[in-house]
Amino acid sequence: PVLMERSDSCRHRPSLLLVIKSRPPHFENRQAIRQSWGGLRKTGDVTLGRVFLLGEQGKADHYPDLSRLLAVEQREFGDLLQWGFRDTFFNLTLKEILFQRWLAERCPGPRYIFKGDDDVFVNTDRMLDYVLGLGRRQRRNLFVGDTILDALPSRDLRQKYYIPRAFYAG
């Protein structure tokens, strides 16, 4: 279920919706984004929107209960979208599916969507210059991404992207 959402997240029908994957304890990252490349603004006829995607933290995550702080953050900024599942690397697919459902049901208006993480910097102005510099036909079904070549699953338990061998058993 959706735990936290502001009903007017897409009220202004943003031209570009910045969708940033985050985790409950990453307040500093979210705040840095709000104060820099993810600041809401309108440039000409281009309006930026912003939403942070969150799950819940579990007891095994060793964080204090941040639900009250998240509620304060939501009242202040209104840009959190949180669901009731444990927010882990292995649930990123679930986070994506729930976001796509939310987008279709609650925010069908953006012309463009940027999906990223809360630990990156994005030159939003340059991104808009690029997209708006394309012809109408080129922009119609635009999909830009990053190809990672020769990637192997990480077997190091200390790595963020560790994948257990058991995931490939069978």
Q: Write the pLDDT tens digit of every residue in 14-25.
A: 889 999 999 999
pLDDT band, residue 170 (cuts 50/70/90): low
pLDDT band, residue 103 (cuts 50/70/90): very high
Residue 133: alpha-carbon gap to chain centroid = 25
Report the amino acid identity of residue 76: E
pLDDT band, residue 26 (cuts 50/70/90): very high
β-partners of residue 42 are 47
Q: What percent of the chain has pLDDT over 70?
A: 98
Q: Phi/psi at 67 (nearest 5 deg)?
A: -60, -40
Does residue 28 or residue 146 have the better pLDDT?
28
Q: Is 146's pLDDT higher than 90? A: no
Residue-averaged pLDDT of the chain: 89
Cβ atoms within 10 Å, residue 2: 12
- Alpha helix segments (H runs only) across 27-143: 27-34, 67-77, 92-106, 124-133, 136-140
Number of domains in the chain: 1
Q: Is 7's pLDDT higher than 90? A: no
The structure tokens listed for 168 are 């490939």
- Average pLDDT (117-135) is 92
Does residue 162 or residue 21 have the better pLDDT?
21
Q: Which of 9-13, 33-37, 130-134, 141-145 has the highest mean pLDDT?
A: 33-37
Predicted local confidence at residue 99, as pLDDT: 96
Q: State the pTM of this model.
A: 0.88
Residue-range definition of the domain harbouring residue 62: 2-168
- What 3-state DSSP class applies to 118? coil
